[in-house]
């Protein structure tokens, strides 16, 4: 199929009241990206002419899309005068003879499932699937294998409500159908909206043949509520993890792991149960143990966790990061940090050991400061490194030290201690116990 032969219109102007959210519905995230991103991504694979209809929070929606795509046309819907999915088409003048219209709340749509609409020359193609529980969808009235009309749930009679064949929300129309019928839509219905779906009954009255295209429910799932959002998330996660495993990553209990679309893997990686990997994270030949969270970070040839947290801009290479260690905006190369530490705004070099309970005190309440630790340094347990601070190579920092100045001499020991006082029989006196 020639990518220039079809115009795609994505309807994204609605309020999405059923989401009960201040955020525009189409911007709600699935696997780290707005729903609309996935719809545009699949559409881009079959067309170069994509328009998105916007109105509600139009500037926010547009800005968000522009983070990912720079060649989208934007059409503004007048939702006061012409509310509804039909109203959304009022200002659309398609470039091509064939026009595909998609709802903006179908994040699971794939380019393969859209391709099917292009393989026929019919003037009107609409998609359907069958559901045990059709709640929320428009019901499709079919007689003699021809679609007669689509009835929205709020307008349906008791008999129509029992119909289990529903409108999937993707349509292919020839341009002349759009030009002829969009102006004829009315808002004479329960919601006082202009329904795009009324094109079907209007065209039918003029004897236009409308055969339904049976599509796969999963790919066409519409997201109207937060429960729908979580259902779609589950399916998307399955897809993402299945691709990752096919490419060679080992996952223990994948259903407990969350991985965003943007995360990449190289080499042999193991991800244990309960991990969460987000943003622009790259994992290369590493083992991520149970319950670890990694955000916008690079991990190479290392083992992380269990229960470790790498926050944005961490770079960890040839290192061991153990349980309850938090790393933020730091570079660790050849480092061991086995237990209970906070390493923030730091640079730690090869062969260095960070003992249990070591903390980089990187923030004075106003600004953040850097900690720089050289090679083969032994940082004893419970050390506080008051940044900005620099430690040379081959240095020992004694356990419990509060380091307030740089250690500039290679090979030295830094130690801060308060003398321990022992008071005889204090315990018995304090608790009034007879010895």
Distance CA 343, CA 360 (A): 5
Nearer to ligand UD1, 106 or 403 (CB): 106
Q: Which two tokens stand for residue 181?
A: 């019928």
Contacted entry of Mg ion, ligand UD1, none for residue 196, CB cut-off 5 to 8 Å set by kind: ligand UD1
Candidates 129, 137, 265, 315; binder of ligand UD1 (CB under 6 A) is: 137
What is the length of the chain? 435
Query: Is residue 26 part of the contact set for ligand UD1 (CB under 6 A)?
Result: yes
DSSP 401: -
Question: In the complex with Mg ion, which residue's Cβ is closer, 40 or 310?
Answer: 40
| Gap between the Cα atoms of 9 and 302, Å rounded | 46
CA pseudo-torsion sign 174, 177, 180, 181: negative
Q: Answer with the entry of Mg ion, ligand UD1, none that 355 interacts with (C-beta below 5 to 8 A by kind).
A: none
Per-residue burial over 109-135, b if 16 or more Cβ lie within 10 Å, else e, is bbeebbebbbeeeebbbbbbbeeeebe
193 binds Mg ion (CB under 5 A): no
- The answer to the question of residue 222 lying near ligand UD1 (CB under 6 A) is yes
Instruction: Catalytic residue, from 28, 56, 309, 339: name it.
Output: 339
Cβ contact 10:99 at 8 Å: no
Cβ atoms of 26 and 12 closer than 8 Å:
yes
Which of 274, 281, 232 shows the shortest CA–CA distance to 254?
Answer: 274
In the annotation, is 56 catalytic?
Answer: no
Cβ distance to Mg ion smaller for residue 105 or 193: 105
Residue 34 binds ligand UD1, judged by CB under 6 A: no
**Does residue 31 interact with ligand UD1 by CB under 6 A?**
no
Among 59-67, 82-90, 284-292, 323-331, the segment contacting ligand UD1 (CB under 6 A): 82-90
Of these, 34, 107, 169, 380, which contacts ligand UD1 (CB under 6 A)? 169
Q: Does 222 bind Mg ion (CB under 5 A)?
A: yes
**Binder of residue 277, out of ligand UD1, Mg ion, none (CB less than 5 to 8 A by kind):** none
Q: Which of residues 352-411 bind ligand UD1 (CB under 6 A)?
A: none
The site string for ligand UD1 over 91-110 (x = CB under 6 A, - otherwise) reads ------------xxx-----
Q: Is 298 in the site for ligand UD1 (CB under 6 A)?
A: no
Residue 5 main-chain phi, psi, to 5 deg: -85, -10
Tell me the window of 49-57, 105-113, 153-161, 240-248 that interacts with Mg ion (CB under 5 A): 105-113
The reply on whether position 83 binds ligand UD1 by CB under 6 A is yes
Instruction: Report if residue 79 touches ligand UD1, rule: CB under 6 A.
Output: yes
Query: Does residue number 249 form part of the binding site for ligand UD1 (CB under 6 A)?
Result: no
77: which residues sit within 8 A by CB, 6+ positions away?
Answer: 13, 53, 54, 55, 87, 88, 90, 91
How far is it, in rounded angstroms, from Cα 89 to Cα 103? 12
Estimate the crossing angle of helix 35-44 against helix 58-66, to 10 degrees.
50
Active site residues: 339
Chain contacts with Mg ion (rule: CB under 5 A):
105, 222, 224
């Amino acid at each position: 199929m020639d990518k220039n032969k079809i115009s795609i219109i994505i309807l994204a102007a609605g309020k999405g009241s059923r989401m009960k959210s201040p955020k525009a519905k189409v911007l709600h995230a699935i696997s780290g990206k707005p729903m609309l991103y996935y719809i545009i991504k699949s559409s881009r694979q079959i067309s170069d002419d994509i328009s998105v209809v916007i109105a509600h929070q139009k500037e926010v929606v547009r800005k968000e899309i522009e983070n990912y795509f720079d060649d989208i046309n934007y059409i503004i819907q007048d939702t006061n005068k012409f509310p509804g999915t039909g109203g959304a088409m009022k200002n659309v003048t398609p470039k091509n003879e064939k026009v595909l219209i998609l709802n903006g709340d179908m994040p699971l749509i794939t380019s393969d499932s859209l391709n099917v609409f292009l393989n026929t020359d019919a003037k009107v193609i609409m998609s359907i699937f069958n559901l045990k529980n059709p709640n929320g969808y428009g019901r499709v009235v079919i007689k003699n294998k021809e679609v007669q009309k689509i009835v929205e749930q709020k307008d349906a009679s008791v008999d129509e409500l029992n119909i289990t064949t529903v409108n999937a929300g993707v349509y292919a129309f020839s341009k002349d159908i759009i030009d002829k019928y969009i102006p004829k839509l009315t808002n004479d219905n329960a919601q006082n909206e202009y329904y795009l779906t009324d094109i079907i009954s209007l065209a039918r009255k003029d004897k236009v043949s409308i055969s339904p295209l049976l599509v796969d429910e999963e790919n066409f799932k519409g997201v109207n509520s937060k429960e729908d959002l979580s259902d779609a998330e589950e399916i998307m996660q399955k897809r993402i993890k299945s691709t990752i495993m096919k490419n060679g990553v080992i996952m223990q209990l994948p259903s407990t792991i969350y991985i965003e679309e943007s995360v990449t893997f190289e080499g042999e990686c193991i991800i244990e149960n309960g991990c969460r990997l987000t943003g622009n994270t790259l994992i290369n030949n590493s083992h991520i143990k149970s319950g670890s969270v990694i955000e916008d970070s690079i991990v190479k040839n290392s083992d992380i966790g269990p229960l470790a947290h790498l926050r944005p801009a961490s770079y960890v290479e040839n290192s061991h990061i153990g349980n309850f260690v938090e790393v933020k905006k730091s570079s660790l190369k050849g480092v061991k940090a086995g237990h209970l530490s906070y390493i923030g705004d730091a640079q730690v070099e090869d062969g260095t050991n960070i003992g249990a309970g070591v903390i980089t005190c990187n923030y004075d309440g106003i600004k953040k400061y850097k900690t720089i630790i050289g090679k083969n340094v032994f940082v004893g347990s419970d050390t506080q490194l008051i940044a900005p601070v620099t430690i040379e190579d081959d240095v020992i920092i004694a356990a419990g030290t509060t380091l307030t100045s740089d250690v500039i001499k290679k090979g030295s020991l830094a130690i801060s201690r308060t003398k321990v006082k022992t008071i005889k029989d204090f315990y018995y006196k304090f608790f009034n116990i007879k010895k």
